[in-house]
Structure formats: C-alpha cells, structure tokens
C-alpha cells in the first residue's frame, strides 16, 4: 500500500467505525458496479436497439398490410363493378330476346329471310 492509501485509512478510522464501514461498503459497491454494471448497461443498450429495429420493422409491416388491404379492396370494387355491368347487359339481353320472341309470335306473316335475321339476333 502506498502512503496516500494508508493516510486515507487512518483518517477514516479517526472519523469512527461507522464511517470506515460505510466507506468500505461504498468502495466494494463501486467495484461491483464497475465489474457487472458496464456489461449490464451495454446489454440494455443492445436490447433497446433491437426493440427499435423491431418497432421499425413492424411499422413497415403495417404499411405493407395496409397497402395489401387497399389493393385488395380496389380489386374487389372493380370486380363488383364488372358484375354490375354484366348484370345490366344480361338484363338488357333478356329483355331484347323476350321482345323478339313476342314479336315473332305476333307476326307469323314475316318473310322467311326476316325470321332468319331474327333467329341470328337471338342466338
């Protein structure tokens, strides 16, 4: 031990036994924190960094899911619109066929060429 350390111990003993014990406890706590505190803090930093990366990836995943849902929704709307158009066209076609059938039944006096024209329209 150096002379400075011996003088420090002597002055602590002069303050009393309680001060000496408190100093020893503080010294060992400092050494323990130096040995175990630094790795603990660095591991906490790594955990915080990993959590930040996870939050960022979850944010990206949220954007991707919202984009997918939006695209799926737009495709669904396009399909429904197409079905509506097909439905209207079918309704118009059915009305036209019924009108042509009723026209054919009412006038049996039509020329054979006119009947052939009507049949080609129906089929």
- Distance (Å, whole) CA 88 – CA 92: 6
Q: What is the pLDDT of residue 46?
A: 94
Mean pLDDT (whole number) for 84-94: 91
Q: pTM of the full predicted structure?
A: 0.38
Is 12 in contact with 19 (CB distance < 8 Å)?
A: yes
Q: At 16, is the secondary structure helix, strand, or coil?
A: coil
Q: What is the total count of domains within the chain? A: 1
Domain that holds residue 36: 3-122
CA dist 72 and 68 (Å) reads 6
Q: What are phi and psi of 114, to 5 degrees?
A: -70, -40
Length of the chain: 123
């Amino acid at each position: 031990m150096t002379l400075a350390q011996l003088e420090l111990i002597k002055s602590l003993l002069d303050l009393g036994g309680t001060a000496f014990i408190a100093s020893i406890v503080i010294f060992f706590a400092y050494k323990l924190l130096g040995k175990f505190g630094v790795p603990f803090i660095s591991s906490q930093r790594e955990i915080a960094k990993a959590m930040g990366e996870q939050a960022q990836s979850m944010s990206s995943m949220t954007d991707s899911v919202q984009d997918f849902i939006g695209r799926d929704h737009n495709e669904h709307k396009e399909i429904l619109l197409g079905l509506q158009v097909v439905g209207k066209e079918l309704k118009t076609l059915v009305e036209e066929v019924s009108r042509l059938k009723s026209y054919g039944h009412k006038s049996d006096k039509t020329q054979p060429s006119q009947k052939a024209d009507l049949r080609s329209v129906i089929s």
